[in-house]
Amino acid sequence: MAAPRLGSVRVRTTAAVTLLVAVGLGLASWLLLSELERSLTTNQDEASRGRAEDLRALVRSDRLPSTVAALGDDTFAQVLDGSGRVVAATPGVHGRPALATFRVPPGDVQVRTVQVPDGPEQELYRVWGVGARGAEGPAAVYVGASLETVSEATSTLRGLLVGGVPVVSALLGVLTWVALGRMLAPVESITRQVAGITDAELDRRVPVPRTGDEIADLAGTMNDMLRRLEAARDRQQAFVADASHELQSPLTRLRTQLEVSRAASAPDWDDVTTDLLADCGEMEALVRDLLFLARDDGGAGRVPAEQVELVDLDDVVLEEAARVRSATRVEVSTAAVSAAPVRGSRDQLRRLARNLLENAVAAAASRVDVSLQAEGPGAVLVVEDDGPGIPADQRDRVFERFVRLDGARDRTTGGSGLGLAIVSSIARQHGGVAAVEDTPAGARLVVRLAGWPERE
């Protein structure tokens, strides 16, 4: 497996998860330390103040002993008279001078942080002072608790958290890295396999994991894309092969006529040029049709917006019918043509009508009927002929390229086989469809055009 890139999803996600966890744990640790310190300090305060209130009650009742009980090893209590003399104290500070000297008027309560000598060092105490008045005058009760207990507890927890948070964050980062590696392994496999597929190997597929998750969807989508690419390549190869075959005939005729004319002692150049121009015109029409279909394969999908205009399709159909009628003995009836304005490309719609009519006239025995009517923003164009008709199992094939249903006909009489393919393409580009429908005799081709609504 290749080393992950610095900007890969795996690296970025692992880094993001590790950072978020570290920040989250750091914030939680700070809150925990703050809450522990507050809780321990509050508990000490409640105990110290309660003890101070008890001693004040003893002072008021003149029942204060010279030695009072302590709350713990790191606490002290002293009672001072009005002159600042210690009249009662806990055993640990018995005989020592006053440890807290801030004045507390009778009835008042104060709390201070005081430095208390502890051997050669100074230790911080949180001291509660309560003012009292006894039988011998005013007095002050001081009860203090060492802050070292709180400091030691928070320091111990802080040390555990400082060492534990990075370890937990790193461990979670490793687990995330491994988990993402396993999750993304199918993606890397798909990437490698797709990278190795060339245009000559579009029949290959990537394996689809059975997880049923997004990665399986990705693999399935990739296979669908490969199938579409393979189908497009096959269509392109078939198109090129058919186009080459179709172009070969007029080119061969041109070459043959030129060689014959060159070999003749006195060729009739008028006839030669007439034949050559006819073959060139045929080849030009074929190339034009091929270019149109090639652009359609290029993904045109719809007519470009700049080519869309309001077209009176009935005028287009009538003009093309008149043109076809002048070149054939087949009767072309347009009695059922009614007004049908649609939005689309005038040139393409003219080509659609021309191809439909020329195809019908070529197949008809004596008559072609054309009908047109509006249908919403679009229209329905129907062209019927009284020819041999189209077999039911061939109705879809007539719109394929280079298809000639009558195998006995050559290219000259049967056309290039692109006319109806172009009809289908133009109909599709106008949001419609071309189809062959049932009819008692002959063939009935129907084109439904959706058109476009007016642009705002």
pLDDT in tens, 392-445: 888 777 887 666 665 433 444 445 567 788 888 888 888 888 999 888 888 999
Q: How confident is the model at residue 282 (pLDDT cuts 50, 70, 90)?
A: low
Contact indicator for 339, 314 with CB cutoff of 8 Å? yes
User: Residue 285 burial by CB count (10 A; 0-12/13-18/19+): exposed, middle or buried?
Assistant: middle
State the Cα–Cα distance between residues 81 and 132, nearest whole angstrom. Answer: 9
- Which H helix or E strand runs over 378? strand 378-385
Contact indicator for 402, 242 with CB cutoff of 8 Å? yes
State the Cα–Cα distance between residues 7 and 428, nearest whole angstrom. Answer: 44
Strand partners, 444: 384, 437
Count other Cβ atoms within 10 Å, centred on residue 392. Answer: 9
Same domain assignment for residues 151 and 254: no
Same domain assignment for residues 177 and 47: yes
Residue 433 lies in a domain: yes
Q: Is 62 helix (H, G, I), strand (E, B) or coil?
A: coil
Same domain assignment for residues 315 and 233: no
List the one residue out of 48, 52, 46 whose CA is nearest residue 140. 52
What is the pLDDT at residue 409?
38
pLDDT above 90: residue 266: no
Same domain assignment for residues 26 and 111: yes
Q: How confident is the model at residue 94 (pLDDT cuts 50, 70, 90)?
A: confident
Last residue of a domain, one of 280, 297, 314: 297
Lowest average pLDDT, out of 122-131, 210-219, 246-255, goes to 246-255
Same domain assignment for residues 44 and 96: yes
List the one residue out of 175, 183, 181, 179 whose CA is nearest residue 214. 183
Same domain assignment for residues 8 and 130: yes
Q: How confident is the model at residue 357 (pLDDT cuts 50, 70, 90)?
A: very high
pLDDT above 70: residue 79: yes
pLDDT above 60: residue 347: yes
Residues 116-169 pLDDT 10s: 887 778 889 999 999 998 888 899 999 999 888 888 888 999 899 988 999 999
Lowest average pLDDT, out of 47-51, 194-198, 301-305, 340-344, goes to 301-305
Q: What is the CATH number of the domain that holds 323?
A: 3.30.565.10
Residue 248 lies in a domain: yes
State the Cα–Cα distance between residues 126 and 37, nearest whole angstrom. Answer: 13
Contact indicator for 161, 32 with CB cutoff of 8 Å? yes
Same domain assignment for residues 169 and 290: no
Same domain assignment for residues 119 and 244: no
Same domain assignment for residues 174 and 36: yes
Quick one: average pLDDT of 445-452? 83
Residue 207 lies in a domain: no
Count other Cβ atoms within 10 Å, centred on residue 249. Answer: 17
pLDDT above 80: residue 176: yes
Last residue of a domain, one of 138, 166, 196: 196
Contact indicator for 102, 112 with CB cutoff of 8 Å? yes
State the Cα–Cα distance between residues 286 and 421, nearest whole angstrom. Answer: 13
The letter for the amino acid at 126 is R
Last residue of a domain, one of 269, 297, 325: 297
State the Cα–Cα distance between residues 421 and 397, nearest whole angstrom. Answer: 9
Contact indicator for 361, 442 with CB cutoff of 8 Å? no
Contact indicator for 66, 90 with CB cutoff of 8 Å? no
Count: domains in the chain: 3
Instruction: Extract the tokens encoding 15.
Output: 């880094």
Same domain assignment for residues 292 and 329: no
Same domain assignment for residues 344 and 285: no
What is the pLDDT at residue 76?
92
The letter for the amino acid at 258 is L
Which CA distances in Å does 122 have to 114, 119, 187?
10, 8, 66
Largest CA distance in the chain: 159
DSSP state of 144: E
Residue 456 lies in a domain: no
Quick one: average pLDDT of 58-83? 88
Contact indicator for 94, 168 with CB cutoff of 8 Å? no
pLDDT above 90: residue 31: yes
Q: What is the CATH number of the domain that holds 284?
A: 1.10.287
Which CA distances in Å does 439 have to 166, 372, 393, 445?
82, 17, 15, 10
Residue 72 lies in a domain: yes
Q: Which domain covers residue 230, as residue numbers?
A: 214-297
State the Cα–Cα distance between residues 263 and 227, nearest whole angstrom. Answer: 53
What is the pLDDT at residue 455?
46
Same domain assignment for residues 4 and 144: yes
Contact indicator for 335, 321 with CB cutoff of 8 Å? no
List the one residue out of 369, 367, 352, 361 whose CA is nearest residue 421. 352
Residue 204 lies in a domain: no
Q: Are strands 331-337 and 367-375 parallel, antiparallel or unpaired?
A: parallel
Residue 454 lies in a domain: no
Contact indicator for 402, 415 with CB cutoff of 8 Å? no
Q: Is 132 helix (H, G, I), strand (E, B) or coil?
A: strand
Residues 298-309 pLDDT 10s: 445 567 777 788
State the Cα–Cα distance between residues 383 and 355, nearest whole angstrom. Answer: 11
